[in-house]
Amino acid sequence: MKEYNVAILGATGAVGQEFLKLIEERNFPFKELRLLASKRSAGKIIPFMGKDYVVEEATHDSFNGIDIALFAGGAASKEFAPSAVKAGAVVIDNSSAFRMDPEVPLVVPEVNPEAIQTHHGIIANPNCSTIIMVMALKPLYDLSRIKRIVVSTYQAVSGGGKEAMAELEEQVKDLAAGREVTAKILPSASLPKHYQIAFNLIPQIDVFKENLYTKEELKMIDETKKIMGDSSMRITATTVRVPVYRSHAESVNVEFEEEVDLSEARKALSSFPGVILHDNPEEQEYPMPLFTSGKNDVEVGRLRKDYSVDHALNFWVCGDQIRKGAALNALQIAEYMIQNDMFH
């Protein structure tokens, strides 16, 4: 089998570390592996598959000879993507920098793999909440066009990175020990105010825009339309941070153009790759973030009719934010390209 030279930009973060786990787990065919990060992390040793890798500081020359550049996300994406493309690499980028660029495909391989073909060097990985939602929407959309979506998210702290995960853990320990709690990261490190996440919910993910939506909410709306190839779908979203480590959950209400039979919907979801229908109310069985964490599949449950309006369903979906919401989806894009001989 052909092997590829792979670079990971942001190798020391939560998504970067998950890339490594998945490369090993999935036997990803790599020849050379270059671990890149900011100056702050350069020099760190990362043991991986029996070898010690030294993290290098990312520079514009870091991508020479690289076939696949996996970008974990953040501000570095915008800075380094052009040099990586110039060096001949295909960039699979986790940040929002290029997602809405009409020249850049925005891809969930189970949903719109055909978009990959149109790439010019950069392929964007959608926002985690978007990926998890569209995994459940696509099999339903194939039964009947979706007119309108109302979604509320319950997002794990992993979406805020390693520091936000550490903050939740620390706050829980502090509270249990009767110590005072400090909040420095959530809802967003760059903002002036921070709130306790332990035993709390924060109805703000990312910054507010002029229309009073947060950036996270607008990402879900815009990205879903682009991935599903339907700009006339009406979507509204409320995104909330919850004290959960690494699986996002979403309550989704979907209004279809035509009547969708519940058993047809169940069949479509069950047979869709990457989705598990976990829905057995009689046995009190439904997806929960505790049990989807560390898993590759997205789980759907609580599927039922919305009797308040014609042709509508409600469901609940859970998925690991760092896996399918980020690193796994990106790696699946690379795997699809390998399988279809798309690297030159």
Question: What angle is formed at CA 151 by the lines to CA 274 and CA 125, rounded to 5 degrees?
Answer: 45
Site string for ligand 3JN, 178-197 (x = CB under 6 A): --------------------
Which residue is closest to ligand 3JN by CB? Answer: 159
Q: What is the DSSP string of 4-39?
A: EEEEEETTTSHHHHHHHHHHHHTT--EEEEEEEE-G
Site for ligand 3JN in 131-170 (CB under 6 A): 155, 159-160
Biggest alpha carbon distance in the chain? 59
**Tokens representing 297?**
């599949």
Cα separation of 40 and 320, whole Å?
Answer: 28
Q: How many residues bind ligand 3JN (CB under 6 A)?
A: 10
Cβ count near 309 (within 10 Å): 10
Spatial CB neighbours of 296, under 8 Å, sequence gap ≥ 6: 274, 320, 323, 324, 328
Q: Which is nearer to ligand 3JN, 185 or 300 (CB)?
A: 185
Q: Which is nearer to ligand 3JN, 139 or 159 (CB)?
A: 159
Q: Which is nearer to ligand 3JN, 163 or 306 (CB)?
A: 163
Residue 214 in contact with ligand 3JN, rule: CB under 6 A = no
**Annotated catalytic residue 248:** yes
- Provide the 3-class DSSP secondary structure of residue 85: helix
Interface pick for ligand 3JN out of 12, 41, 62, 96 (rule CB under 6 A) = 96
Is residue 319 within 8 A of residue 131, CB to CB? The reply is yes
CB 127, min distance to ligand 3JN, A: 4
Q: Which is nearer to ligand 3JN, 73 or 319 (CB)?
A: 73
Interface pick for ligand 3JN out of 73, 105, 289, 301 (rule CB under 6 A) = 73
CB 124, min distance to ligand 3JN, A: 10
Of the candidates 60, 120, 248, 278, the residue annotated as catalytic is: 248
Interface pick for ligand 3JN out of 205, 233, 244, 298 (rule CB under 6 A) = 205
Phi, psi of 138 (to 5 degrees): -55, -50
Residue 128 in contact with ligand 3JN, rule: CB under 6 A = yes
**Annotated catalytic residue 318:** no
Is residue 237 within 8 A of residue 153, CB to CB? The reply is yes
Cα separation of 140 and 145, whole Å?
Answer: 8
Q: 162, exposed or middle or buried, with CB in 10 Å at 0-12, 13-18, 19+?
A: middle
Residue 243 in contact with ligand 3JN, rule: CB under 6 A = no
Residue 34 in contact with ligand 3JN, rule: CB under 6 A = no
Residue 289 in contact with ligand 3JN, rule: CB under 6 A = no
> In Å, what is the CA distance from 81 to each residue of 49, 91, 318, 339?
27, 7, 31, 24
CB 52, min distance to ligand 3JN, A: 30
Which residues does the annotation mark as catalytic?
128, 248
Q: Which residues of this protein are in contact with ligand 3JN, per CB under 6 A? A: 73, 95-96, 127-128, 155, 159-160, 205, 219
